[in-house]
Amino acid sequence: MLTGALLVLAILLVNIVRLDIFGYQKYSEKAFDQLTTTSTLKAERGRIYDANMKLLSATGTTWRIYVSPKVIREYEKESARRVKERLAEGLAEIFDKDKDTLLGRISDTRVLDVTVEASASEEEYRRLLDFLLENDLEGLVGTEAQSRRYYPEGTLAAHVLGFTGSDGTGLYGLEYYYNSTLSGTDGSYLYAKDANGLPMPNSYTAITQPTDGNSLVTTIDSYIQEVLEAELSEIVVNHSVTGRACGIVMDTRSGAILAMATSSPFDPNSPFTLDSLSEERLKASGFAEGSEEYKKLRAELMQLMWSNKAVSETYEPGSTFKIVTVAAALDSGAAEMTDRFSCTGSHTIGGWRIRCHKTTGHGSGFTLAYGLQMSCNPTMMAIAERTGKDSFYNYVERFGYFEKTGIDLPSEARTIFHELESIGPTELATASFGQRFKVTVISQLRAIAAIANGGYLVEPYIVDKIIDKNGNVIKAHEPSEGRRVVSAEVAKEIARVLEEGVSGDGGAKNAYVEGYSVAAKTGTSQKFDILDANGSSYLRIGSTVAFAPSDESGVALIIVVDEPQSSVKYGSTVAAPYVSDVLEKILPYLEYESSAPPSTFTTENYVGMNVNSAKSLLSSSEINYEIIGDGKVVLSQAPEAGVDITKGLSTVYLYTVSRTEGSVTVPSVVGMELGEANKTLAALGFNINLTGVKDLTSGILTVVSQSLPPGVIVKQGSCIELRALCTSFED
């Protein structure tokens, strides 16, 4: 018996030693965990600014609202006061919850706390505090401040900025690419708790302070971004675009992206809400709401809406690539701008008859410069053949098409091009005018910018510097000159020829901006991955690339329009005039000096003037006018003061008698030749402000949009803005 007792005692002693020495760490940690609770102290996410320190993305505060059923039960015991029902009623009203469900949850004492609202707004938080004070219920509802990402400019630059998830992690755009920079490091708050899991007073606590995230200062200029986005929206409406449009504005020397936009503007404050066009497509699908087909299509539309078309998608560049083809021929010595060529409307190579866009041909004996300006396909095929496939392929590589641009945005796509060994005569021919291979929009602009800046391939970038919360610069982007891809002489010569094509009678004339040297090239490509029932391509991509001022370093711009459904689908029509509009607005803003006076006139206030004085002012400004009545003083005028009108196309009406306000119905002039539209509108007394052309004699000018919609009734003398384009050529 004694032996048994000693054996038991020995076992106990061994276990005591084992637990005390070898299990000390393990069990002390378990005891510590049972007695303490750790709460995360969230680091504040960094902000995102534009180039002028305008706030684009920041973190605001929301509140988690919670209650402890055990605390409520103890309170009711001690105070002999029933509060659960009043609490449930008030919380349900403030946070739009079901009262009975909420009452059941806050009565369940098996849980430590119950979240009433995970992300309460400032207004809801204030209403809660008022409710608790009015009902003497302070201390029974917990509030926990937390971060919420918000975007004060709404949809502006949404595809660049991206958005965050509910946990604050970046999911798209800069928010995703720079997530670790923006996030910072969370801290923690450790405290002792009692048997009910509640904090114990005057007990052990330990705090690890969070490290807030750093902020981004981007190269995006909000004004230029707004201008670009507005033009893309107009393109989509005017040309019924089904594949979205996108554009980029870039500094040609540094590679800084001044604006980048895609025409599916979503609000990053509510990123899971479809844009209007996507919503229309979803409704038009005919799928029952909530069905699997409906959910699948909605998810696809949402992914498409978020996609940054300028970076993450590829397209066939078409004739804008001819700039690279000519650069390769000139730089390699295979051709000169003065070389002579001929075009009969097509060229047969490798057994295939390949057409020029001008089926009647460009004639014979013209120079390479003319062939580039007129976008002649046979000319491009001829110089590519001279260059040879090996050298041609080498220049495609030198211009950066076989590598990613390195732009600091996620999901950049890669060029899809022929393998060198698979390039035969036909592949070389079609590649020479930008068909049968695909590039990204950003890589195409990067390549053309190398012509604009004198021959250097730069790396495009979005973030200029990273700063801490006190504004101290942590890291700044240092643009490099980039590698040389063609000689300065070749780049300058191509820029000159492209500029002459815009200011003269070239295919890119619709990109003209009065007072500035603009070099541009338009392009229209077919989509061969989508065919009709006969196996033919029927969808088009119209684009224009430009840079200005072309005689010095400046900005480069590209606009790509995917699947325009309007009657005219050429890049010269669906993209070039909008490129012109963007440049017209941003070049003065960037303080590039114009060499030409404005072509528009802003009306003054002539009311109250002597008629002769008003006539003298209008005559000196070369403005047409008409006097109505025999009075000596101007009593009213049309248009009113401060309206922009186009010289030569508008008339200012001065009334010297009591004016009976006439009204006219706006006619539809879209599709008319400009002369016919002008006569129609002038006969009704409209004033006209004309955009889209540089002179009234350049080809067949057709009205493609009007500012006042047909059928509305307006005052006689009202000003209507017309956009007229030259539609006598293709590209």
Q: Are residues 195 and 86 in the same domain?
A: yes
**Residues 210-240: tens digit of each pLDDT:** 788 999 999 999 999 999 999 999 999 999 9
**Is residue 15 included in any domain, yes or no?**
no
Q: Which two tokens stand for residue 275?
A: 């844009």
Residues whose CB falls within 8 Å of the CB of residue 521, separated by 6 or more in sequence, listed in order? 319, 320, 322, 323, 372, 375, 448, 498, 501, 507, 508, 544, 545, 546
- Average pLDDT value for residue range 171-179: 97
Q: Are residues 640 and 729 in the same domain?
A: no
- Mapped onto helix, strand or coil, the DSSP state of residue 560 is strand
Order of strands across the sheet with 719-726? 687-691, 719-726, 701-706
Closest CA to 693 of 511, 547, 520: 511
- Mapped onto helix, strand or coil, the DSSP state of residue 114 is strand
* CB hemisphere CA count around 464 (13 angstroms): 17
If one counts every other C-beta atom within 10 angstroms of the C-beta of residue 336, the result is 13
Q: Are residues 709 and 627 in the same domain?
A: no
**Confidence at residue 381, expressed as pLDDT on a 0 to 100 scale:** 97
Computed on alpha carbons and rounded to an integer, the radius of gyration of the chain in Å comes to 35
| Segments forming the whole domain that contains residue 670 | 661-731
Q: Are residues 653 and 677 in the same domain?
A: no
Taking 3-state DSSP, the helix, strand and coil percentages for the chain, each rounded to the nearest 5, stand at 35, 25, 40
**Is residue 232 included in any domain, yes or no?**
no
**Is residue 680 included in any domain, yes or no?**
yes
More confident of the two residues 602 and 35: 602
**Is residue 236 included in any domain, yes or no?**
no
- Mapped onto helix, strand or coil, the DSSP state of residue 347 is strand
**Is residue 453 included in any domain, yes or no?**
yes
Q: Are residues 496 and 637 in the same domain?
A: no
**pLDDT(292) > 90:** yes
**Residues 703-726: tens digit of each pLDDT:** 878 888 888 788 777 888 888 776
Q: Are residues 409 and 484 in the same domain?
A: yes
Answer whether 492's CB lies under 8 Å from 328's CB.
no
**Is residue 6 included in any domain, yes or no?**
no
The residue out of 458, 487, 511 marking a domain boundary is 511
Task: Identify the CATH number of the domain in which residue 93 sits.
Answer: 3.90.1310.10
Q: Are residues 485 and 633 in the same domain?
A: no
Q: Are residues 700 and 640 in the same domain?
A: no
The H-or-E segment that residue 442 falls in is helix 441-452
Q: Are residues 630 and 667 in the same domain?
A: no
Burial letters 241-265, b for 16+ CB under 10 A, else e = bebbbbbbbbbbbbbbbbbbbbbbb
Rounded Cα–Cα distance for residues 556 and 68 (Å): 61
If one counts every other C-beta atom within 10 angstroms of the C-beta of residue 635, the result is 16
**Residues 316-344: tens digit of each pLDDT:** 999 999 999 999 999 999 999 999 999 99
**Is residue 470 included in any domain, yes or no?**
yes
**Is residue 603 included in any domain, yes or no?**
yes
Rounded Cα–Cα distance for residues 543 and 573 (Å): 9
Q: Are residues 710 and 611 in the same domain?
A: no
Question: Per-residue confidence at 624, pLDDT binned at 50, 70, 90?
Answer: confident
Name 160's bridge partners: none
H helices of 575-718, in order, are: 576-589, 611-620, 674-683
The H-or-E segment that residue 48 falls in is strand 48-49
- Number of domains making up the chain: 4
Q: Are residues 603 and 727 in the same domain?
A: no
How far apart, in Å, are the Cα atoms of 114 and each of 93, 137, 143, 193, 196?
17, 17, 12, 18, 14
DSSP-assigned letters across all residues of 124-165: HHHHHHHHHHHTT-TTSSEEEEEEEEE-TTTTTTHHHH--B-
**pLDDT(39) > 80:** no
DSSP-assigned letters across all residues of 219-259: S--HHHHHHHHHHHHHHHHHTT-SS-EEEEEEETTT-BEEE
Helix orientation angle between 441-452 and 488-503, rounded to the nearest 10 degrees = 100
Closest CA to 266 of 240, 230, 304: 304
Q: Which residue has the tokens 């509108």?
A: 681
Residues whose CB falls within 8 Å of the CB of residue 614, separated by 6 or more in sequence, listed in order? 606, 625, 634, 654
Closest CA to 512 of 524, 499, 527, 522: 499
Q: Are residues 654 and 669 in the same domain?
A: no
- Average pLDDT value for residue range 610-629: 86
**Confidence at residue 1, expressed as pLDDT on a 0 to 100 scale:** 61
Task: Identify the CATH number of the domain in which residue 693 sits.
Answer: 3.30.10.20
**Residues 688-706: tens digit of each pLDDT:** 777 765 444 445 677 878 8
The residue out of 196, 213, 230 marking a domain boundary is 213
**Confidence at residue 29, expressed as pLDDT on a 0 to 100 scale:** 53
Residues whose CB falls within 8 Å of the CB of residue 651, separated by 6 or more in sequence, listed in order? 624, 625, 626, 682, 687
The H-or-E segment that residue 304 falls in is helix 292-306
The residue out of 511, 533, 565 marking a domain boundary is 511
**Confidence at residue 659, expressed as pLDDT on a 0 to 100 scale:** 54
* CB hemisphere CA count around 630 (13 angstroms): 0
Task: Identify the CATH number of the domain in which residue 376 sits.
Answer: 3.40.710.10
